[in-house]
Structure 1
Amino acid sequence: MRLRALAPAKVNLGLALGGVRADGRHRLVTVFESLSLADTVELDVMESGEDVVVCPGVSGENLAARALAALRARGWDGPPVRLTITKRVPVAAGMAGGSADAAAALRLAMALVPGRAEEVEQIAAGLGADVPAQLLPGLALGAGAGELVERFEPLPEHAYVVVPAPVALATPEVFREADRLGLVRSDAELEARHRALAAVLAARTRIPMELLGNDLQAAAVSLRGWCGEALEAVRATGAEASFVSGSGPTVVGLWWGASAAERAGAAANLLKRRHPAATTAVPVDARFAAASLTCAGVETSVD
């Protein structure tokens, strides 16, 4: 028996950075949006042994393995499983690829042996700022250190160009650089940004330019000059907004309105001359990432 789910990348539509909490994590306010650019996570049930996570081409600790281990530690008694992750989301790129895989692993485990919903949310919050929002892909407003998630209906039609960087960038490095550059906002500023973004999302209107800024962008550009060059290249194609996604170094261009996907596609074709990995993406919701079961060659939804 095999279960399969997609693990969508995310983009941050605006990110306001606050100070460091007692647990060492920065406060933030940001909009998470899931994209059609996605990894594939497959869960195979094994007869015996321990859980195994396989992610070809990616070395080091895997967040999906940590998610499974944390679930086991809380008493989840599903059979041993083998998780196979096929990567399409760039690694260490500010698009939450690892977080998306961890969230997909938790969704698949719950599809296999349901229950423990509250514990799954607690596990997600402990794994990192991006994991809670990825448990239910779609549009969400994040606060706290990302673990406080409020979900919203989709925004008006829009599409993206995604320009992955040729080099990775570690999230902790970016936050340290942001602290060094003095990019942190006050608690009052964070609260004001939260109210403004919540109002826009509730109204389901376009997010205005003044709310799309990413406070981590200057830190990413400082550490990787490539980001600044890519931002200029994306703007030159006619994007209505361009910004670094999350902690970077991936650069994203945004188009609003009818035929946004077609205009983004034309821009991606132009960008490929200097940035061969440039691609397009559109927003997706939880249905896109839903788990499916393959048994005797027949695939059916389990959500």
Structure 2
Amino acid sequence: MRLLQDTAHAKINLFLHVTGRRSDGYHLLDSLAVFAGVGDQVSMQAPAEEMSLVITGHFGKGLDCNADNLVLRAANLLKDATKSTGAWNFKLEKNLPVASGIGGGSADAACALRLLATEWKSDPSILYSVAEKLGADVPVCIAQKATRMQGIGEVLHTVPQLPDIGMLLINPGVGVSTPAIFKSFATLGGIRSRQEITFPEKWETASSLFSTLRETGNDLQAPAILHAPIIQDVLNAIALQQGCEISRMSGSGATCFGLFSTPAEAESAQQSLSAQAANLGWWTWAGPLHQSP
């Protein structure tokens, strides 16, 4: 019996600009994606008669374990693409809120691909080709390192090492529809002309990173608030915390984040909000970024 496991870290969009739209309807984006020190746990065990999946964890209730799940789709697509043999029993422990703007499903699929690629010694080009077929957020979740995403998410650029900042995540427990958010984005004025953000060769300090981020935003934040006004309440609660430098929504929502100069400051803010979060049923996490070598 063999057991392999890895963490599917939460993907956070520190900024997200909608820069265009393709003829097929897909929106073009410019975003700085980072990964938090919290995530789902993915494990796989062999031997198995066929690819299978069991889902556990606080946010696992009601999720389908059939072949349409991204983890199994990823496994079967990579198996076919590499003409590999063998099957695995997958277990997914869902610690992250679902459909919440932090790439949970995409990160889970990418985690399964990483584990299988290591086992099968898959060519990286095949790995990323399969990832692109699974969704726009899956390729960036393969390496789980700070990356600038462009195109529809498939154009990836390395970025300078980020300082050891702290992050607070809050999800208010409401779901938002990504297609509906983009529709409202168009209603509110849609794509606007802006100068492309340039990054320095290195962010020497947390303050220098925050300075760059203050020139950016999340174009989907305002339309998301129209659909779920509680997002604004979360953003306000984060912004009021001592040491908070940036308060913003990730992806198409509804998870919001606060950035702090140190993980300790973020953890202190989480503690300060603990009673309010418990009363309102908000999910929270605080700590450092996950920084892959």
Same-fold call, TM > 0.5? yes
- Percentage of identical aligned residues: 29
Does structure 1 conserve the Cα–Cα contact (< 8 Å) formed by 2:185 and 2:220?
A: yes
* Residue of structure 1 in register with 2:256 after alignment: 251
Matched, 1:53 2:60: no
CA distance in 2, matches of 1:280, 1:232: 17
CA distance in 2, matches of 1:137, 1:123: 16
Question: Matches of residues 194-273 of structure 1 in structure 2 within 5 Å?
Answer: 196-197=197-198, 199-200=199-200, 202-204=201-203, 205-208=208-211, 209-238=213-242, 239-256=244-261, 260-273=262-275
Counterpart amino acid of residue 251 in structure 2? G
- Any stretches of 5+ residues in structure 1 without a counterpart? 288-303
How far has the Cα of 1:157 moved from its partner?
2.3
Which structure has the higher relative contact order (CA within 8 Å, separation 6+)? 1
| TM-score normalized by the length of structure 1 | 0.85
- Of 180, 183, 187, which residue of structure 2 is paired with 1:180? 187
The C-alpha deviation readout for 1:236-267, integer Å capped at 9, x for no partner, is 113111000111001111112xxx11111111
2:292 maps to which residue? 286
Q: Give the deviation of 1:76 after TM superposition.
A: 3.4
Secondary structure of 1:74's aligned partner: helix
8 Å CA contact retained: 1:138, 1:283? no
Once the two structures are superposed, residues 264-292 of structure 1 have per-residue CA deviations (whole angstroms, 9 ceiling, x without a partner) of: 111111212221322203111236xxxxx
Question: What amino acid does structure 2 have at the position aligned with 1:244?
Answer: M
Moved more, 56-65 or 241-250: 56-65
Give the one of 103, 116, 123 matched to 1:116: 123
Q: Does 1:161 align with 2:168?
A: yes
2:71 aligned with 1:76 = no
Distance 1:66 1:211, change over 3 A: farther
| TM-superposed deviation, 1:184 | 1.7
CA distance in 2, matches of 1:211, 1:43: 42
Matching residue of 1:20: 21
CA distance in structure 1 between the aligned counterparts of 2:229 and 2:45, rounded to whole angstroms: 42
Q: Which amino acid in 2 is paired with 1:264? A: A
Structure 1's 272 and 172: CA in aligned 2 closer, same or farther, altered over 3 A? same
Question: Hey, what's the Cα distance between the residues in 1 that align with 2:85 and 2:160?
Answer: 33
TM-aligned CA distance change 1:47 to 1:99, over 3 Å = closer
Report if aligned partners of 1:13, 1:30 keep a CA contact under 8 Å in 2.
yes
Provide the residue aligned with 1:44 in structure 2: 45
Moved over 6 A (4+): none
CA shift, 1:212, in A, is: 3.6
Q: Would you say the 8 A contact 1:93–1:165 is kept in 2?
A: no
The yes-or-no answer on 1:35 pairing with 2:36 is yes
Instruction: Between 30-39 and 168-177, report the one with greater CA deviation.
Output: 168-177
Q: Secondary structure at the match of 1:211?
A: coil
Contact kept, 8 Å, 2:34 with 2:147, in 1: the verdict is yes
**Alignment length (residue pairs):** 275
Partners in 2 of 1:263 and 1:33 — Cα distance? 19
Note the C-alpha offset of 1:59: 1.6
Counterpart for residue 8 of structure 2: 7
Distance 1:5 1:164, change over 3 A: same
- TM-fit CA distance, 1:83: 1.1
Aligned pair in 2 of structure 1 residues 127, 176: CA closer, same or farther (>3 Å)? farther
Structure 2 residue runs of 5 or longer lacking an equivalent are none
CA shift at 1:54, angstroms? 2.0
Tell me the residue number matched to 1:295: none
**C-alpha distance in 2 between matches for 1:274 and 1:183:** 35
The one-letter amino acid paired with 1:286 is S
Post-superposition shift, 1:124? 1.2
